Structure 1
Amino acid sequence: MKIVRLNWTDKACPISCIEILEREKRGYWKSSVSVRKKQKFLLYKCKSKSNAGIIGFGYFTRDGAHTLDKHEIEKYRLNLIENAESSKFVEIQLIELNINRPLVNEKELNDFFGELKNFATQGSTVINYNYQPQAVELYNRLLIKHRYKACESNLSKIDNALASENVKTEIRKEVTHRIGQAWLREQLLELHHGMCQVSDETRQDLLICSHIIPWSEDRDNRLNPNNALLLAFNYDFLFDKGYITFDDDGTIITSKEVRNCFGIEDGRKLRELNDETRVFLKYHRERIFKR
């Protein structure tokens, strides 16, 4: 099923309606677009004839669009929307929403979709077929980022529970590290389609979740999928030890100490590299890589 684009402006949907959606995490969106249950959507914030970014995402909870009864309209303050009583709405389940700080800003959207022009101001509709692969990748990245925030919160709860039982600090660190590392590996396998980002190796027992900035050095990003690479074991070992790294376009850089060794090929590139990962890789090149 294709990802759907929903558009938001304060004129089309007053902020008071959005506030209820943000609190309830489910509700209705004025749209006559044909949708299916569990179909995904990206919610765009629009300004004049351009877009300000994606402010929310989620999925539809019912097939099709329909008119609402009085109770539904009153519960979600939809009477503030023009012609609400005679309009059709789709029922949505929000995963995350933030109108003040877009989850994906205009620059990041251009990185995914190229020059957008009026892409996000053409009404709520299924995203153009040509854009669907990028829309799927973007949706998955948003979903994984949402998951890692939740996992980080759960790890903190586990750590606090162990601390309350007077478990030694070293053991607490080992427990949270193992749980977090296993979770992050699952996300990377999903995000990178079960393939090494360099060699395209697909044998699961040979793939390692490789942190860019080490777990112990950046607590805020220890579960951030953009601070990790999915690498075959030989690339992971050399990357972890600082014998290889990657430049801003993903091209592998090899230390002179291991050049032409361990099956590492010059000219290889990382797949699926984004701006946030580039920032972490800059740290790796400057602080960890052994020239």
Structure 2
Amino acid sequence: MTERRSWTRDELLVAFHFYNQTPFGKISHRNPEIINTAKLMGRTPSSLSMKMANIASCDPSITASGRSGLSGAAKADREMWQEMTRDWENFFFNASEAFNKINKLQSPEAEAVCPDPSLELDDFHGQEKLATIKTRVGQQQFRAVVLSAYDFRCCITGIDIPELLIASHIVPWSRDPQQRLNPSNGLCLSSLHDAAFDKGLISLNEHLELMLSPKLLNSSNDYLANSFEPYEGKPITNPSKHLPNPIFLQHHRSEIFHKQR
């Protein structure tokens, strides 16, 4: 087997798929998931992990933190990074298709579930059906990417039970369709803190420190006090990738956060 053969588009999509869903510190040829998928691709684990490290050098959130990944990113890597950030929905869908093809799994179209449980995918036709599928796949991928960026821990409390974690949108889903699936528009929060963030009861300042609304601070409920007040003014745990966009956080503070009772 030669390791110098060119990467196909599907293989590169798989590498991006893994990069997005793997915490930065676990990009390693010893990672069992990388080992298994590399074998199916006909590549060594070192080849796949090195490609992921090359992709990291295209990631502004990695380079801005002083980490560099590897410096060997190819032109195709950089072009695919730009393709991804221009259209997250289509990219997530295509990457999922490539991953499932290599792993001989069902395609995203076959496994997608209609977001509205009262409707079946058979009720849709043509472009409408495809759009519904892409939306569902995108939602699944957004959650996977955001949670992995925060190492599957609430960035406020450190809760690490996946069933209790939400990929919370900073700018709400309905307000900016182009940024719905951008991981930099996401925070990993516990279900309680996600609800509070969504309703503007908490926010983050420009230093990524927790802000509490007077509605919470003036509450006499001991459970609420214990769930929020110990974290006031403390910085969140930063993600390893996809840092929250300051512009999105400013929008949350100015348009959603309740500054008064």
Quickly name the TM-score band, shorter chain normalised. 0.5 to 0.7
Q: Distance in 2 between matches of 1:182 and 1:91?
A: 23
Measured against aligned partners, the alpha-carbon deviations of 1:67-87 in whole angstroms (never above 9, x if no partner) come to: xxxxxxxxxxxxxxxxxxxxx
Confirm or deny: 8 A CA contact 2:168 2:187 kept in the other structure.
yes
Q: Distance in 2 between matches of 1:268 and 1:282?
A: 18
Say whether residues 1:213 and 2:179 are aligned partners.
Answer: no
Q: Which amino acid aligns with 2:228?
A: I
Measured against aligned partners, the alpha-carbon deviations of 1:122-142 in whole angstroms (never above 9, x if no partner) come to: xx8xxxxxxxxxxxxxxxxx8
Q: Which amino acid aligns with 2:65?
A: D
Q: Which residue of 2 aligns with 1:189?
A: 147
Structure 1 portions without partners, runs of 5+: 1-19, 27-36, 41-58, 65-89, 125-141
Q: Distance in 1 between matches of 2:144 and 2:49?
A: 27
Q: Which residue of 2 aligns with 1:46?
A: none
Q: Distance in 2 between matches of 1:233 and 1:207?
A: 6
Q: Which amino acid aligns with 1:287?
A: E
Q: Distance in 2 between matches of 1:234 and 1:270?
A: 16
Q: Which residue of 2 aligns with 1:151?
A: 92
More helix by share: 2
Q: Distance in 1 between matches of 2:140 and 2:238?
A: 21
For residue 267 of structure 1, the aligned residue among 211, 233, 256 is: 233
Comparing 263-272 and 230-239, the one that deviates more = 263-272
Q: Which residue of 1 aligns with 2:247?
A: 279
Q: Which residue of 1 aligns with 2:184?
A: 226
Structure 2 portions without partners, runs of 5+: 1-5, 13-27, 32-40, 73-80, 98-107, 115-120
Superposition pairs of residues 16-27 of structure 1, within 5 angstroms: none
Q: Distance in 1 between matches of 2:128 and 2:182?
A: 29
Confirm or deny: 8 A CA contact 1:25 1:94 kept in the other structure.
no
Measured against aligned partners, the alpha-carbon deviations of 1:99-122 in whole angstroms (never above 9, x if no partner) come to: xxx8346x9624333xx8xx988x
Give the 3-state SS of the residue equivalent to 2:203 in structure 1: strand
Confirm or deny: 8 A CA contact 1:212 1:228 kept in the other structure.
yes
For residue 201 of structure 2, the aligned residue among 243, 266, 270 is: 243
Give the 3-state SS of the residue equivalent to 2:245 in structure 1: helix
Give the 3-state SS of the residue equivalent to 1:230 in structure 2: strand
Q: Distance in 1 between matches of 2:159 and 2:49?
A: 38
- 1:60 deviates by 10
Q: Which amino acid aligns with 1:164?
A: G
Q: Distance in 1 between matches of 2:218 and 2:42?
A: 52
Q: Which residue of 1 aligns with 2:105?
A: none
- 1:95 deviates by 6.7
Confirm or deny: 8 A CA contact 2:93 2:137 kept in the other structure.
no
Q: Distance in 2 between matches of 1:95 and 1:108?
A: 12
Give the 3-state SS of the residue equivalent to 1:229 in structure 2: strand
Query: Percent identity between the aligned chains?
Result: 22
Q: CA RMSD in A?
A: 4.8
Q: Which amino acid aligns with 1:237?
A: A
More strand by share: 1
* Alignment TM-score, normalising by the size of structure 2: 0.53
Give the 3-state SS of the residue equivalent to 1:283 in structure 2: helix
Q: Whose RCO is larger (CA < 8 A, sep 6+)?
A: 2
Say whether residues 1:288 and 2:235 are aligned partners.
Answer: no
Confirm or deny: 8 A CA contact 1:22 1:97 kept in the other structure.
no
Q: Distance in 2 between matches of 1:188 and 1:180?
A: 12
Q: Which residue of 2 aligns with 1:133?
A: none
C-alpha distance 185-22 of structure 1, shift in aligned 2 (>3 A): closer
